[in-house]
Amino acid sequence: MSEIARRAIPAAAIKPKLSRDDWIMRAFMGVIALYLVVALALPLYTMLSKSVQAKDGSFIGLTNYFEYFGTPALSYSINNSLYIATLTTLITVTLAFTFAYAITRSCVPFKGLFKVIAMIPILVPSLLPGIALVYLFGNQGMIKGLLFGHSIYGPIGIVIAEVFFTLPHAIIIIVTALSIADARLYEAAVALRASKLKIFFTVTLPGCRYGLISAAFVVFTLAITDFGAPKVIGGDFNVLATDIYKQVIGQQNFEMGAVVSVVLLIPAVFAFAVDRFVQKRQVALLSASAVTLEPKPSRRFDMSMLSFLILISVFLIGMLAVCQYAALIKFYPYNLSFSLRNYQFDLMDGGGWASYWNSIRMATYTAIVGTVVVFTGAYMVEKGRGFNQGRTVFQFLAMMPMAVPGLVLGLAYIFFFNHPDNPLNFLYHTMAILVISTVVHFYTVAHLTAVTALKQMDPEFEAVSASLKQPFYKTFWRVTVPVCLPAILDISIYLFVNAMTTVSAVVFLYGPDTALASVAVLNMDDAGDIAPAAAMGMMIFYTAAGVRILHHFASRFLERRTQRWRVR
């Protein structure tokens, strides 16, 4: 071809040829995206359409919604839910901020211990604080008098239980927000002779405002979607989450359950969107040149902070101690002698000891399957080449589970998987569907953990590997996985613990052979066997705590083994 002939050809857009690696990576991404579609998007869609159908399946538009809003007994739950969630948010964020402030800005001793104690509620089902409150303030409660005649069954009990349940989540976020403070800002403020109060309002609060907003929305979402606490301690006080349960389990009114689910989905999605927006801002505040703020000792301030930390710790540990005490007592309050009678779960309804072993199996499968799926998916989406639209869709699918309350997910599964025409119908009631739903339910946080770890890897590893003609999976296996192992362990432990404690999604999905410990707590409490429920709840706690401790030592071991190559 002559030079002139070559130049005559107009420059055409280049269509990059895909390598074998590109195909394999996209295939993996496609399979995991398909999983998210089948296990999340399609069930949700089925549920949405169910809410605009009559019992016979015919389309009736918004009739169900009109019926819902026309029935005050039902729609009043919206007010109740908002009331509970708002009150919980106010109390939890205040307590969490004070707690985090004590941890990050004072010189109290045993900070590590207090931080560990603050994480206790993560290790128990949200039913457990309710049970503890029954023993403390119920009709025959130990310190019932403190309520001055008010009943614990209702908003008071729900809010206390929700504060217990949501506190660790808020503390984690606010501690992070307060730890990124730049000492130079404080030095500048002091140099300008600002008063302590002024510094607090002009430096401290603005510096962690995104953390506070984010914590508020996370707490709000947890509280409005939680089902465990209102179920145990709510009495006649109906909230949206218990309404879904009652409509479905109690009245078999699936269509109305779907309507309530959609109503509950709205605030959850809204709070989720705000939280995502705010979290992005928080990251931008962190500058590389910031100087870490070292708190200075101040006796009076430190002592008051210490008393606060002790008070919160007593509250958190106390709730568990009450449950453990109740579990070991023959028959509260009439026979206070010691007994293991309440551990004979096989004698009660709820699933017996088998449910406990089921839970351990389910949590183990969830941890293994979930970690593999989540980490692989995150890797493909982070390190793949091109295919930007596909990756955006995947990211969206991966973020969606966070906005979907567990009960809504569970109900959506009934509609989708229990449908006789669905070829996946055989999954219903099996261990498999419990694992599938739990992985989806907790997908987002696990995904974000994986993405954060992957973003810290040198982005050129894949480029180097391709230039050396090595397949990506070799680099994935030999480099990415070993380097990300701490994050992978974090993901698996997160999934395990949540699978042990979750009630909401699985309560609609377990079968006669696949009852779970957390569901057994619910059912035994429902049947009036409160002490065995407490005993089972504590079994969950010990298991989750034990696994957490194992995880701690495994991480330590790993750190020591790999410190030769960890960057200095």
Partner 1 sequence: MSASASSERAPYLRIESLTKVFGHFTALENISLEIFEGEFVCFLGPSGCGKTTLLRAIAGLDIQTEGRVEQAGQDISALPPSERDFGIVFQSYALFPNMTVAKNVAYGLENRKASKTEIKKRVTELLELVGLPEQGNKYPAQLSGGQQQRIALARAIATSPGLLLLDEPLSALDAKVRARLRHEVKDLQRKLGITTVMVTHDQEEALTMADRIVVMNQGVIEQVGTPVEVYREPVTSFVADFIGTMNFVPGKMIGRDRVRLGDVEIVCDADAIAEGADVTVAIRPEDVILRDEVSDENTWRAQVKSMEFLGSFVRAELDSDATGKEPLLADVSINFVRSHDLKQGDAVTLKVPRERIRVYSGTRRHE
Which of 393, 466 has the CB closer to partner 1?
Answer: 466
* Residue 565 lies near partner 1 (rule: CB under 8 A): yes
Q: Interface with partner 1 by CB under 8 A: which range of 114-122, 211-219, 296-304, 461-469?
A: 461-469
Alpha-carbon distance values, 455 to 60, 430, 473, 485, 558 (Å): 48, 37, 18, 14, 21
**In whole angstroms, how close is the CB of 26 to partner 1 at the nearest point?**
13
Q: Supply the minimum distance, in Å, between the C-beta of residue 10 and partner 1.
A: 9
**555 near partner 1, rule: CB under 8 A:** no
Alpha-carbon distance of 403 to 444, in angstroms, equals: 9
Nearer to partner 1, 335 or 388 (CB): 388
Residue type, 42: L
Residue 560 found at the interface with partner 1 (CB under 8 A): no
Q: Which stretches does DSSP call E strand in 270-361?
A: 329-331, 335-338
Question: Whole-angstrom Cα distance, residue 178 to residue 100?
Answer: 7
Q: CB under 8 A: which stretch of 314-322, 431-439, 463-471, 542-550 binds partner 1?
A: 463-471
Amino acid identity for residue 53 in this structure: Q
d(CA 553, CA 339): 34
Total binding residues toward partner 1, as defined by CB under 8 A: 37
Helix (H) or strand (E) run with residue 415 in it:
helix 406-417
Q: Which of 1, 8, 13, 73 forms a contact with partner 1 (CB under 8 A)?
A: 13
Q: Which range, of 10-18, 175-183, 242-250, 313-321, touches partner 1 by CB under 8 A?
A: 10-18
User: Residue 209: CB partners within 8 Å, gap ≥ 6?
Assistant: none
Q: How far is the CB of 399 from partner 1 (least distance, A)?
A: 23
Among 205, 463, 527, 549, contact with partner 1 (rule: CB under 8 A)? 463
Of 21 and 255, nearer to partner 1 (C-beta) is: 21
Residue 14 is a binding residue for partner 1 (CB under 8 A): yes
* Spatial distance between the Cα atoms of 193 and 329, rounded to a whole number of angstroms: 60
Q: Does residue 562 bind partner 1 (CB under 8 A)?
A: yes
Least Å from the CB of residue 17 to partner 1:
5
Would you give the DSSP letter of residue 5?
A: H
Give me 279's structure tokens.
């979290």
CB closer to partner 1 out of 299 and 469 = 469
Q: Judged by CB under 8 A, which stretch of 177-185, 209-217, 400-408, 462-470 contacts partner 1?
A: 462-470
**Residue ranges in 379-398 that form contacts with partner 1 under rule CB under 8 A:** 385
Q: Which stretch binds partner 1 (CB under 8 A): 7-15, 108-116, 407-415, 505-513?
A: 7-15
Residues 401 and 441: beta-carbon distance below 8 Å:
yes
Cα separation, 550 vs 24, whole angstroms:
35
User: In angstroms, what is the minimal distance from the CB of 3 to partner 1?
Assistant: 11
Residue span binding partner 1 (CB under 8 A) among the ranges 220-228, 264-272, 310-318, 460-468: 460-468
Identity of residue 531:
A
* Interface segment toward partner 1; rule CB under 8 A; list 14-22, 61-69, 301-309, 317-325: 14-22
Sole window of 9-17, 245-253, 309-317, 519-527 interacting with partner 1 (rule: CB under 8 A): 9-17
Please pick, from the candidates 299, 388, 468, 553, the single residue that binds partner 1 as defined by CB under 8 A. Answer: 468
- For residues 356 and 345, the answer to whether their CB atoms sit within 8 Å is yes
Task: Considering the complex, state which of residue 14 and residue 284 has its C-beta at the smaller distance from partner 1.
Answer: 14
- Closest approach, Cβ 489 to partner 1, in A, equals 15
Radius of gyration of the chain (CA): 26
Convert 421-430 to b/e letters by CB count within 10 Å (16 or more is b): eeebeebbbb
Site for partner 1 in 15-34 (CB under 8 A): 15-22
**Does 564 sit near partner 1 (CB under 8 A)?**
yes
Rounded to the nearest whole angstrom, what is the least distance from the CB of residue 415 to partner 1 in the complex?
41
Residue 331's φ and ψ, nearest 5 degrees, are -155, 95
Structural contact between residues 363 and 1, judged by C-beta atoms closer than 8 angstroms: no
Interface segment toward partner 1; rule CB under 8 A; list 12-20, 146-154, 292-300, 516-524: 12-20
Of residues 474 through 503, those in contact with partner 1 by CB under 8 A are 474-475, 478-479, 482-483
Residue 144 binds partner 1, judged by CB under 8 A:
no
**Residue number, 366 or 465, with CB nearest to partner 1:** 465
**How far apart are the C-alpha atoms of 512 and 220, rounded to whole Å?**
34
**Min CB(488)–partner 1 separation in Å:** 14
Task: Tell me how far, at minimum, the Cβ of 188 lies from partner 1, in Å.
Answer: 31
Binder to partner 1 among 48, 445, 466, 558 (CB under 8 A)? Answer: 466
- For helices 72-105 and 63-70, give the axis angle rounded to 10 degrees: 80
Evaluated on CA atoms 371, 372, 374, 380, the torsion sign reads: positive
In the complex, minimum distance from the CB of residue 287 to partner 1, in angstroms, rounded to a whole number:
20
C-alpha span between 408 and 427 (Å, rounded) = 18
Contact 77, 238 (CB under 8 A): yes
Residue 561 lies near partner 1 (rule: CB under 8 A): no
Q: How far apart are the first and last CA of the chain?
A: 57
* Token output for 13: 């857009």
List 8, 469, 512, 553, residue binding partner 1 (CB under 8 A) = 469
Long-range contacts of 111-118 (CB under 8 A, 24+ apart): 114/309, 114/313, 115/175, 117/312, 117/313, 117/316, 117/317, 118/167, 118/168, 118/171, 118/312, 118/313, 118/316
Token representation of residue 367: 């941890």
Residues that bind partner 1 (CB under 8 A): 6, 11-22, 385, 458, 460-461, 463-470, 474-475, 478-479, 482-483, 562, 564-568
